[in-house]
Amino acid sequence: MSSIALINSALLLGSGLVVLGILSSLAASRFGAPLLLVFLGLGMLVGENGFGVVFDDYRATYLIGSLALAVILFDGGLRTRVAELRGAVAPAVALATFGVLVTSLLTGLAAMAMLGLDLLSGLLVGSVVASTDAAAVFFLLRSNGLALRQRVNATLEIESSTNDPIAVFLVLALVELALAPHGTTAINLIEHLALSGAVGCILGLAGGVAIAAALNRLAFPAGLHPLFVIFCAIFIFAAASVAQGSGFLAVYLAGLVLGNRPVRALPSVISFHDAATWLSQIVMFLILGMLVTPSTLISFAVPGIAVAAFLMLVGRPVAVWLSLWPFRFSRSEKLFVSWTGLRGAVSIFLATIPMLTGVPNSAVYFNIAFFVVLVSLIVQGWSLPWTARRLSVALADPAPAVDRVEIDLPGQADLELVGYPVLPESPVLDHGRLPSWARPVLIVRGPATLTPEQAGPLLAGDYGYFLCPPMRVRRLDRLFAAFEGHRERSLAGVFAFPAAVRLSEIARAYSLDLATDVANQTLGELFADTFPEGVREGDRIGLGPVTLIARSVDDGAATAVTLLIDEADEVEASLGRVVLAKLMPRLKVASQGAVQLFGSARRRLTSLFD
């Protein structure tokens, strides 16, 4: 009976912590606090120095952490669109490979000097904290309503999703060297790294194709599609790991392949993964927090803060600047990528490997890693939104979140049924029509349910359902998003420019402070980078006192852009310069024509009198 009571108590504690973690996410969203910090704090609260729950099972921690990271990485690949990765794959891969190696080396040498460790132990500390945490970065940006420039956003997303395999490999290799220093050579490590990457790529790509084929060809009972997908992802992760490959790389690639292929039941799969990913993060962070004994952290406070400061101010920036040097990133972009090196659950998870294998000084690795994560989340986590705005890498006018409902169509992979509320600020009301690839099915107007023919043009307050290709749903989102205040803006200063005009010309006229790489772009290039899935009429970008609106679009590319003055009185002088700049060529042509006309008339009159 005592065993049953213990199990019941464990279930009570576990479920209570998860519920408390979910409720805490509301406070984290309001105050911009990193969720990882909240969950770690809850774990520490119930731990040995809190409520007195002793948890030191590193084997269970490694198992749960592996499963959680597999689910999180698969979900990251599932949501990534290949169209958004343009120009970002090469720099992201450089950061995830060369950047991780440089970070590990520099931080390892610093840790060796600060902690009095030998070279191998110092490098192990550096490798444990070398990878970044994608979940923490993008939660903070989304919770503050920020969206990054397309290239920066894609680079950080790919790097954060793909640098874990390199960090895992480095930790495992160094642990193997620590346990058997004379049994492994550098050639063996290189061969193992190449094999690990190759096996991970092959199994990940093949697994993604296989999952997509199974979803399209097999008729599963309702509700089993998401379960089938998530356990296939775990199977791919485990299979790659057993085959001496990178399970983390394999599961990310499998999600990437599946998310970019037409498959049935994809909306329900993604919806299920929302919950699964949240649960994975909460459980993993809570358990990692319970592993920590706060009383033992005091002795590691000074070296832990020192290692964290070196990593944030020297190790990560040097690695970023060296990795991105060939790819023409601006100075502000490099600074932001350097600062966006949040350490998270992966670092603490990797620190459990030396504890699990019995490597000497294993407590040092775990406590230093925990301190690095804690300092990173507090310092970088809370300052990240401000840094994005200060360095001008955040879009000034990102697309607002949209309330969308997706419904699976049985046996259908080429179309989805999506529903939207029609809000007063939705651009679809200005357009008066839908794209040719979006077909209305029914319109709910008050208590009435109408066919598209009965409803006529959409009205504010309607709720519409539309058939749309899955890969174009995000483009349809922008027509139903609520762009706050766009109807109230003054139209006193409005000009139309061709897409070939450079932003530097706009910046000079309006005294805008733009980053060099942005100023060198044309209007068309700016819209293409901001909306990688294709530009729609009405898409807009804010640049200080002006707003750019795509008014003419051809095959997903802006051909004409309207410049809207937010407050005409603030830019009156600039507006006059623009008016003169636009009118002078026309006035010159008109004056030349008038002179020619006057000369011709004079000659004719002269000939009459002669």
Tens of pLDDT, residue by residue over 210-257, are: 999 998 888 787 778 889 999 999 999 999 989 988 888 899 899 989
Its pTM stands at: 0.69
Residue 600 lies in a domain: no
Question: What are the start-end ranges of the H helices in 311-344?
Answer: 316-324, 331-339
pLDDT of residue 510: 62
Residue 566 lies in a domain: yes
Report in angstroms the alpha-carbon separations of 583 from 202, 589, 590, 591.
61, 10, 10, 12
Let me know whether 363 and 468 are in one domain: no
Let me know whether 234 and 331 are in one domain: yes
**Cα dihedral 277/281/284/285 (nearest 10):** 180
pLDDT of residue 309: 93
Q: Mark which of 480, 505, 529 sits at the end of a domain.
A: 480
Eight-class DSSP state of 359? -
Determine the Cα–Cα distance for residues 61 and 356; give it in Å rounded to an integer: 9
The CATH number assigned to the domain holding 15 equals 1.20.1530.20
Q: Mark which of 480, 515, 538 sits at the end of a domain.
A: 480
Burial (0-12, 13-18, 19+ Cβ within 10 Å), 62: middle
Determine the Cα–Cα distance for residues 159 and 151; give it in Å rounded to an integer: 12
Residue 594 lies in a domain: no
**Cα dihedral 555/262/79/236 (nearest 10):** -150
Q: Report pLDDT digits (tens) over 534-585.
A: 677 667 776 666 678 887 777 778 888 877 654 433 334 343 444 434 444 5
**Cα dihedral 83/88/93/96 (nearest 10):** -110
Let me know whether 358 and 291 are in one domain: yes
pLDDT of residue 511: 63
Determine the Cα–Cα distance for residues 548 and 540; give it in Å rounded to an integer: 5
pLDDT of residue 80: 77
Q: Residue 397's CB: how many other CB atoms inside 10 A?
A: 17
The tokens describing 561, both together, are 């852009």
Half-sphere exposure of 434 (CA within 13 A, CB side): 22
Let me know whether 473 and 567 are in one domain: no
Question: Which region holds residue 116: left if phi is over 0, alpha if psi is between -120 and 50, else beta?
Answer: left
Helix or strand (DSSP H, E) at 540: strand 540-543
Let me know whether 508 and 360 are in one domain: no
Segments forming the whole domain that contains residue 578? 494-583
What contacts 557, CB < 8 A, 6 or more positions away? 499, 524, 527, 528, 534, 535
Residue 472 lies in a domain: yes
pLDDT of residue 401: 58
Q: How many domains does the chain have?
A: 3
Residue 590 lies in a domain: no
Residues of the chain with pLDDT under 50: 485-493, 566-584, 586-591, 594-595, 597-598, 601-602, 605-606, 608-610
Let me know whether 206 and 323 are in one domain: yes
Matching residue, tokens 């620590």: 178
Per the CB < 8 A criterion, the answer to whether 346 and 133 are in contact is yes
Let me know whether 285 and 368 are in one domain: yes
Let me know whether 434 and 384 are in one domain: no
Residue 596 lies in a domain: no
Q: Mark which of 329, 356, 390 sits at the end of a domain.
A: 390
Q: Report pLDDT digits (tens) over 579-608.
A: 434 444 543 444 455 445 445 544 554 454
The CATH number assigned to the domain holding 539 equals 3.30.465.10
The CATH number assigned to the domain holding 470 equals 3.30.70.1450
Let me know whether 162 and 296 are in one domain: yes
Residue 395 lies in a domain: no
Eight-class DSSP state of 522? B
> SS3 of 59, please?
helix
Determine the Cα–Cα distance for residues 477 and 463; give it in Å rounded to an integer: 14
Residue 591 lies in a domain: no
The tokens describing 378, both together, are 């507090």
Let me know whether 120 and 206 are in one domain: yes
What contacts 287, CB < 8 A, 6 or more positions away? 43, 55, 60, 61, 64, 65
Let me know whether 500 and 549 are in one domain: yes
Let me know whether 163 and 23 are in one domain: yes
Closest CA relative to residue 391, chosen from 381, 383, 399: 383
Determine the Cα–Cα distance for residues 583 and 240; give it in Å rounded to an integer: 66
